[in-house]
Amino acid sequence: MALRVLQGLAIGLALMMGTGIAAGQDDTATSVESARTALESGVQAEQRAAIASLRALADAGNAVALRLIGIAYDEGLGVPVDRTEAASLYRRAAELDDSEAMTRLAALMISGDGVNRNLEGARSYLVMAANDDHVPAMLALGAFYLGQADGAEAIEWFDRAATLGNIDALVQLGGIYRRGTGVPADPER
């Protein structure tokens, strides 16, 4: 009997904690969205306040907070541009499976801005993000492969993005077939 009471208490406590966690997650999402809006405001004081509020979440391992602070450093939103810091933050968010952070880190790795230029590492991050149906990563992979003169691989990624409804991917595909970039020219296609 006592064991059943303890089990019932444990289940009840777990359910109550679960509700608290969900409420906490809602609060976190609201905080992150408020910070995102402040970063986009163009007002430096609001941007600095947003970064300060995101730091605690980032320190707790929130991937979106890490990415948003990375964007702030990448674009100079409320802080001086520091691509090395941006890359570090994007890498931490990427380790938490944030597809947008993977895509942004890959862009820095391709340019060599803030990190050592690493095309293979960039490609790997883009593939991981694209395989998570992140359309910007698919577009970046298509462009990456066009730059490597691999039209067939570029077509694969642009086609996947187009299948998800991306108009830019359709434009890229049309250009590839019209010019015959890495594939036989097919203006009709």
Q: What is the pTM of this model?
A: 0.81
Q: Round the average pLDDT of the chain to a whole number and report it.
A: 85
Contact 53, 72 (CB under 8 A): no
Identify the band that residue 78 occupies on the pLDDT scale cut at 50, 70 and 90. very high
The predicted pLDDT at position 185 comes to 77
Q: What is the pLDDT of residue 23?
A: 35
Q: What is the pLDDT of residue 26?
A: 61
| Position 46, amino acid | E
Q: Diameter of the chain by CA atoms?
A: 79
For residue 180, name the pLDDT band (cuts at 50, 70, 90).
Answer: confident
**If you search the block for the tokens 């019932």, which residue do you land on?**
8
Question: pLDDT tens-digit profile of 122-154?
Answer: 999 999 999 999 999 999 999 999 988 888 899
Per-residue model confidence (pLDDT) at position 4: 38
Say which residue the tokens 């998800």 belong to: 164
Query: Is 183 a residue whose pLDDT tops 80?
Result: no
Alpha helical stretches, state H, 76-134: 83-95, 99-111, 119-130
The distance of Cα 177 from the centroid of its chain, to the nearest Å, equals 30
Cβ-contact 130, 141 below 8 angstroms: yes
